[in-house]
Structure 1
């Protein structure tokens, strides 16, 4: 186990609008606001989702995607840095009248009609680095 303790620097509240790409928009907020690291939480609705499930053998994500109206019931994760860019790593659960889906958020999740978000910015920068044994970029704590 590896962990570290941080203080809270500030909280950013916001709302994404219909048609925005959820992941790209959060990366834009992190860049514009200079968020060094943080905790992310979101709720709302999507008209399209793209989720990944990591395959340990191939080191690739298997992708599931659907279009329609989906309730974004839970979406949590973090912001860290790698190669001079913010990395927004979030997982979400979405549902419609018949099914529930969950997984790693990929680009292509489209907001509709809205998504509300909060970012709790931490007082120090957290970095990610590649760990070849698991074929993933992980927090470097």
Structure 2
């Protein structure tokens, strides 16, 4: 990992303990117990005007995963609480607002792991560390009518 720069800024958060720090590759975000993960990432991306980014992280969460049901065009949700051993995803923009697409793997005390699309997550006991690798190109998401789901456009087109 790169050396963290000394520049730190308070995240725009309802929880003053939430914070982020600039790094050579982007940012390190440390969220605290009770923070809403997706909402904090959206606030951060808007405040820092992040054009697009990849994210990865780990920590403790209560998470609602979704499994995309192609027939119903909806997520089938299920909630888990435990150690988030892997968070991966992207930050892009949709309709002028930050759009977070994240997946995760969480395990409980029994070491059984579950994974899925993160619909929502709240930091549990402890913290959640998220590394943000910023890209210089602004990326947009759009709803692909053929599959009725959000899709990332890498060239600005909606196809």
**TM-score normalised per structure 2:** 0.77
Contact 1:10–1:122 at 8 Å: present in 2 too?
A: no
Give the unaligned 5+ runs of structure 1.
1-8
The 8 Å contact of residues 19 and 111 in structure 1, kept in 2 or not, is answered as: yes
Question: Is 2:128 the counterpart of 1:115?
Answer: yes
User: What's the CA shift string for 1:31-76, capped at 9, x where partnerless?
Assistant: 1111110001111111x21010000011100000134xx1110000
SS in 2 for 1:106: strand
56, 64, 78: which one pairs with 2:90? 78
8 Å contact kept, 2:80–2:106: no
- Is residue 2:74 matched to residue 1:60? yes
Counterparts of 1:35 and 1:96, CA distance in 2:
33
Larger RCO (CA within 8 A; separation ≥ 6): 1
Q: Is the 8 A contact 1:49 1:110 kept in 2?
A: yes
Distance 1:91 1:66 in 2: 13
Structure-1 separation of matches of 2:67 and 2:123:
21
1:19 maps to what in 2?
34
Residue equivalent to 1:29? 44
- What is the CA deviation profile of residues 60-117 of structure 1, one whole-angstrom value per residue up to 9, with x for unaligned ones? 00000134xx11100001011110001010000000122211101112x110210001
> Counterparts of 2:80 and 2:129 in 1: how far apart (Å)?
21
Hey, what's the Cα distance between the residues in 1 that align with 2:86 and 2:129? 11
Gaps of 5+ in 2: 1-23, 155-159
Which of 42, 60, 65 is the matching residue for 2:57?
42
Q: CA RMSD in A?
A: 1.3
Aligned match of 1:138: 151
Q: Which of 60, 75, 87 is the equivalent residue of 2:99?
A: 87
